[in-house]
């Protein structure tokens, strides 16, 4: 038993190792944001699960103490698969960097690390060889040959956490493999200590709520994986620390002030240690009293805190040991938790190709083909937009073993030259359209192919519309507008393809239709894009974009995330690159770069499936487009980011680009007059709201700005005016203008 002050237990399940991103050889320390209170609130059975784990451990130890050091039959081999989630950047780390990580962690878990020589004699006497070796698998779950590294191109490499679904992109059976995910960044999620370096999942479950089956493993950022490449200057101890959690260990200070990690031979530590120290570091959690013994004095001043333990947060170069008590926890996990037990069996080594023979003579894997194009600021994962006459550089991401002997065939329908054998061809497209791209990679062991359907969208360099004003009522029926005729591009990149931007026949602002982004039930940070047709802004003086929007909060519970966000971008080159634009919300003078939080909310609380029921539940924002008056091919993009599963749908309506000096956004929301039915294929009734003073005339304009009808308002017609279908020309959008309470008001009218 420990001879130290025991304090209230505080622990962590999804343990997070964090730190600063500016790494160097002198300061490579871990820091940690446990988010313990948040986790316990989300998972009420958390404490019960951990307490049972520790009770079972203590009982097992009392019954099997003599077997802990003798039960192992040879080195325990853990098969490893590394899932590199990347966007083609430096986060797509090399195999050499991954191997440097495994070499480092294997030294640490066998206590053969070179820096163990600095451990003082007392700590050295209780330091443990955990007798574990980590090996890259050479057989995939389907039995195919693999190099143990799976690479996936995805934006989910950024701000990765379990709730973003990045692990679902590539996951192998936890009973056969240790899953390691390498990502660009990990979501901070309010962590007070800094940028998160990695996190692991404990081996026990609780209450049936924790999805341990599909998320089991370790996640690390790329520049803390290994000791070379992007991690040069580090010592590779992030993985050592996280594997400790994965095998049941908690932080040495018990995640509490002078806490207890439930390991007998690790001294108490008041708090996490950062940086590095000289031995001994005074054990301040040991309170010396008049009844203290000489052993207590030695423990405080001569032994001190075990700041060099892998489960602390000191610099990588200062970590160098696990204790024998910590090894007992690992042994308990291997002996009692079935999916950890199976990992180290001889049969599993054969199945995963991590046995000695398979490692000595590894198989030659067939290629896994992958590719992408990364140019401009088009950050769509599933689509590349360019103008006719432009080119795309296809990047080859084929992996699985050596690529030196691979040959490549590209199928490029719609391109100038519909095939190519170049590993990374520069592909020109001259004809507008939407085109597939396919890559086939072949070597002596086999063939792999990858097709991205509709991956390239080529647009004319001539704008689709060149009027003095652009208006889209966002109705769902055909023939009314570009939106109705499917000229808008919707790019929904969530895991659930039924979610995202869509046309709906309900909920519109004073009309029946709207554009809706339904992100309810989606994963945090999933992305949804809606891109407008192209417009010639050289025909519009002082162009201003005006958009109606409606959104409702689903709950006012403080611990439920509702952080949906809308941004607006502009492109002048067919969508190849985009510029973020500021928005001014109704009655707010300050321009903001995103609509989120209170700025996004326009209606009251709706628990689910919000549908606007009245104009009062709408607001609007404007976007200054004056910088684009010389541009003759402009597209607008709405970029919606999910804040998690508890948001409500967002509605967009009345998309208008007009002269800022004649903007009608403000008046359109004021009481005045109504038109019904709208849309209409017959007579239209105009009805004035009560307590309004109406001018003498009602004017009707087409979208070219021509007045096509003038109706006189007399005392006998103040209750309403009728517009006959015959006054209108072709089906489409018209503008109806009246003077109400001394101010001009304009309404949009859709005619079938």
Percent of the chain surpassing pLDDT 90: 58
pLDDT, tens digit, 9 for 90 and up, residues 410-422: 999 999 999 999 9
Whether 660 has a pLDDT exceeding 90, the answer reads: no
| Per-residue pLDDT band at 558 (split at 50, 70, 90) | low
pLDDT at 736: 86
Whether residue 348 sits in one domain with residue 211: yes
Whether 680 has a pLDDT exceeding 90, the answer reads: no
Rounded-to-integer distance, Cα 6 and Cα 10, Å: 12
Q: Are 61 and 332 in contact (CB under 8 A)?
A: yes
Whether residue 509 sits in one domain with residue 635: yes
Three-state SS sequence of 58-82: HHHHHHHHHHCCCCCCCCEEEEEEE
pLDDT at 20: 35
Whether residue 234 sits in one domain with residue 116: yes
pLDDT at 17: 46
Provide mean pLDDT across the span 507-533: 94
Provide mean pLDDT across the span 387-405: 96
Last residue of a domain, one of 610, 640, 661: 661
Last residue of a domain, one of 428, 459, 490: 459
Interstrand relation of 650-659 and 543-550 (parallel, antiparallel or unpaired): antiparallel
Phi and psi at 229, nearest 5°, equal 60, -130
- Say which range, 192-201, 215-224, 374-383, has the weakest mean pLDDT: 192-201
Tokens 């060099």 sit on residue: 308
pLDDT at 21: 34
- Say which range, 82-91, 202-211, 380-389, 544-553, has the weakest mean pLDDT: 202-211
Whether residue 533 sits in one domain with residue 488: yes
pLDDT, tens digit, 9 for 90 and up, residues 729-750: 877 778 888 888 877 777 778 7
Whether residue 579 sits in one domain with residue 447: no
Cβ-based neighbour number of residue 538 at 10 Å: 16
End-to-end CA distance of the chain: 84
Whether residue 209 sits in one domain with residue 340: yes
The total of structural domains in the chain comes to 4
Give the CATH number for residue 735. Answer: 2.60.40.1930
Angle at 69 between CA 65 and CA 72, to 5 degrees: 120
pLDDT at 167: 97
pTM surpassing 0.75?
yes
pLDDT, tens digit, 9 for 90 and up, residues 130-158: 999 999 999 999 999 999 999 999 999 99
Whether 4 has a pLDDT exceeding 50, the answer reads: no
pLDDT at 27: 44
pLDDT at 477: 66
Burial of 60 (0-12, 13-18, 19+ CB in 10 A): middle
| Per-residue pLDDT band at 306 (split at 50, 70, 90) | very high
pLDDT at 265: 92
In a domain, 145, yes or no: yes
Q: If you average pLDDT over each of 281-295, 456-470, 677-691, which comes out highest?
A: 456-470
pLDDT at 36: 41
pLDDT at 92: 98
Which of the pair, 225 or 690, is modelled with greater confidence?
225
Percent of the chain surpassing pLDDT 70: 88
Whether residue 725 sits in one domain with residue 576: no
| Per-residue pLDDT band at 665 (split at 50, 70, 90) | very low
| Per-residue pLDDT band at 678 (split at 50, 70, 90) | confident
pLDDT at 311: 92
pLDDT, tens digit, 9 for 90 and up, residues 207-234: 666 667 899 999 999 999 999 999 999 9
Give the CATH number for residue 451. Answer: 2.60.40.10
Rounded-to-integer distance, Cα 615 and Cα 651, Å: 12
In a domain, 365, yes or no: no
Q: What does each C-alpha distance from 196 to 188, 249, 257, 428 come to in angstroms?
A: 6, 19, 21, 41
Whether residue 317 sits in one domain with residue 184: yes
In a domain, 530, yes or no: yes
Provide mean pLDDT across the span 80-95: 97
Structure tokens at 120: 């003082």
- The range of the structural domain enclosing residue 729 comes to 673-751
Rounded-to-integer distance, Cα 52 and Cα 30, Å: 29
In a domain, 264, yes or no: no
Q: Is the peptide bond before 677 cis (omega within 30 degrees of 0)?
A: yes
Q: Which residues contact 384 (CB under 8 A, 6 or more apart)?
A: 373, 378, 392, 455, 456, 457, 576
Whether residue 147 sits in one domain with residue 92: yes
Last residue of a domain, one of 459, 486, 515: 459
Whether residue 174 sits in one domain with residue 75: yes
Whether residue 633 sits in one domain with residue 484: yes
The chain-wide mean pLDDT, for the chain, equals 87
- CA 634 from centre of chain: 29
In a domain, 370, yes or no: no
pLDDT at 283: 87
Which of the pair, 250 or 96, is modelled with greater confidence?
96
Give the CATH number for residue 335. Answer: 3.40.390.10
In a domain, 503, yes or no: yes
- Say which range, 280-289, 333-342, 610-619, has the weakest mean pLDDT: 280-289
| Per-residue pLDDT band at 24 (split at 50, 70, 90) | very low
Which of the pair, 202 or 669, is modelled with greater confidence?
202
pLDDT at 662: 58
Whether 582 has a pLDDT exceeding 70, the answer reads: yes
Whether residue 560 sits in one domain with residue 610: yes
Whether 612 has a pLDDT exceeding 70, the answer reads: yes
In a domain, 285, yes or no: no
In a domain, 273, yes or no: no
Q: Is the peptide bond before 679 cis (omega within 30 degrees of 0)?
A: yes
Whether 33 has a pLDDT exceeding 80, the answer reads: no
Beta strand spans in 646-742 (E): 650-659, 673-676, 684-688, 694-702, 707-712, 721-723, 732-740
Rounded-to-integer distance, Cα 234 and Cα 231, Å: 6
242 labelled catalytic: yes
Tell me which residue of 174, 212, 181, 211 sits closest to 196, measured CA to CA: 181
> Of these residues, 242, 493, 526, 617, which one is catalytic?
242
H-run or E-run covering 410: strand 407-411
Whether 427 has a pLDDT exceeding 50, the answer reads: yes
Whether 49 has a pLDDT exceeding 90, the answer reads: no
């Amino acid at each position: 038993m420990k001879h130290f002050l025991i304090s209230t237990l505080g622990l962590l399940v999804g343990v997070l190792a964090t730190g600063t991103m500016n790494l160097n050889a002198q300061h490579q320390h871990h820091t940690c944001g446990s988010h313990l209170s948040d986790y316990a609130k989300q998972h009420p059975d958390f404490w019960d699960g951990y307490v049972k784990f520790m009770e079972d451990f203590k009982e097992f130890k009392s019954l099997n103490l003599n077997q802990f050091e003798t039960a192992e039959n040879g080195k325990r081999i853990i098969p490893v698969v590394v899932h590199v989630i990347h966007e083609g950047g430096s986060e797509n780390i090399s195999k050499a960097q991954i191997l440097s990580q495994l070499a480092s962690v294997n030294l640490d878990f066998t206590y053969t690390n070179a820096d163990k020589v600095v451990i003082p004699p007392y700590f050295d006497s209780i330091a443990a060889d955990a007798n574990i070796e980590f090996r890259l698998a050479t057989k995939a779950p389907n039995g195919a040959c693999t190099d143990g590294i799976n690479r996936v191109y995805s934006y989910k490499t950024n701000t990765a956490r379990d709730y973003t679904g990045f692990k679902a992109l590539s996951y192998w059976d936890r009973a056969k493999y240790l899953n390691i995910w390498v990502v660009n960044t990990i979501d901070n999620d309010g962590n007070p200590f800094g940028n998160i370096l990695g996190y692991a999942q404990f081996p026990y479950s609780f209450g049936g709520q924790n999805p341990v089956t599909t998320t089991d493993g370790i996640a690390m950022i790329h520049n803390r994986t290994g000791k070379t490449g992007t991690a040069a200057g580090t010592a590779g101890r992030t993985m050592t620390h996280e594997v400790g959690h994965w095998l049941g260990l908690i932080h040495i200070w018990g995640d509490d002030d002078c806490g207890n990690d439930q390991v007998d031979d690790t001294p108490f530590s008041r708090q996490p240690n950062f940086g590095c120290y000289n031995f001994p570091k005074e054990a301040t959690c040991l309170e010396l009293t008049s009844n203290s013994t000489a052993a207590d004095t030695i423990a405080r001043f001569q032994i001190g805190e075990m700041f060099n333990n892998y489960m602390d947060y000191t610099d990588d170069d200062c970590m160098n040991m696990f204790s024998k008590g910590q090894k007992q926890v690992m042994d308990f996990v291997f002996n009692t938790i079935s999916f950890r037990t199976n990992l180290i069996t001889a049969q599993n080594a054969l199945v995963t190709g991590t046995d000695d023979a398979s490692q000595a003579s590894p198989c030659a894997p067939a290629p896994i083909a992958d590719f992408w194009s990364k140019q401009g600021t088009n950050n769509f994962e599933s689509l590349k937009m360019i103008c006719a006459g432009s080119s795309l550089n296809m990047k080859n991401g084929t992996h699985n073993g050596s690529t030196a002997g691979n040959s490549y065939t590209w199928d490029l329908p719609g391109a100038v030259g519909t095939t190519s054998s170049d590993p990374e061809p520069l592909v020109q497209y001259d004809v507008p359209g939407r085109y597939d791209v396919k890559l086939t990679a072949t070597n002596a062991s086999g063939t792999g192919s990858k097709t991205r359907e509709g991956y390239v969208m080529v647009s004319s360099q001539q704008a689709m519309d060149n009027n003095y004003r652009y208006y889209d009522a966002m109705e769902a029926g055909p023939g009314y507008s570009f939106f109705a005729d499917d000229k808008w591009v919707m790019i929904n990149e969530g895991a659930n393809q039924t979610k995202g931007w869509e046309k709906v026949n309900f909920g519109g602002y004073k009309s029946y239709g709207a554009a809706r982004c339904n992100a309810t039930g989606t994963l945090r940070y999933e992305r949804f894009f809606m891109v407008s047709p192209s417009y010639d802004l050289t025909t519009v003086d002082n162009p201003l974009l005006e958009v109606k929007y409606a959104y409702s909060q689903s709950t006012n519970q403080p611990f439920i995330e509702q952080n949906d966000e809308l941004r607006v971008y502009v492109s002048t080159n067919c969508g190849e690159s985009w510029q973020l634009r500021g928005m001014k919300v109704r009655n707010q003078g300050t321009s903001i770069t995103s609509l989120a939080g209170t700025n996004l909310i326009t209606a009251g609380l709706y628990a689910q499936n919000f549908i606007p029921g009245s104009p009062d539940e709408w607001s609007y924002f404007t976007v200054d487009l004056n910088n684009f008056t010389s541009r003759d091919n402009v597209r607008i993009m709405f970029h919606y980011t999910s804040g998690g599963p508890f948001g409500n749908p967002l509605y967009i309506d009345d998309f208008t680009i007009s002269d800022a000096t004649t903007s009608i956004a403000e008046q359109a929301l004021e009481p005045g007059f109504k038109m019904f039915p709208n849309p209409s294929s017959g007579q239209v009734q105009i009805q004035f709201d009560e307590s309004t003073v109406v001018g003498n005339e009602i004017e009707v304009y087409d979208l070219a700005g021509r007045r096509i009808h003038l109706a006189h308002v007399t005392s006998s017609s103040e209750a309403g005016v009728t517009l006959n279908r015959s006054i209108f020309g072709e089906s489409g959008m018209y503008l109806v203008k009246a003077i109400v309470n001394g101010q001009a008001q304009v309404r949009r009218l859709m005619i079938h």
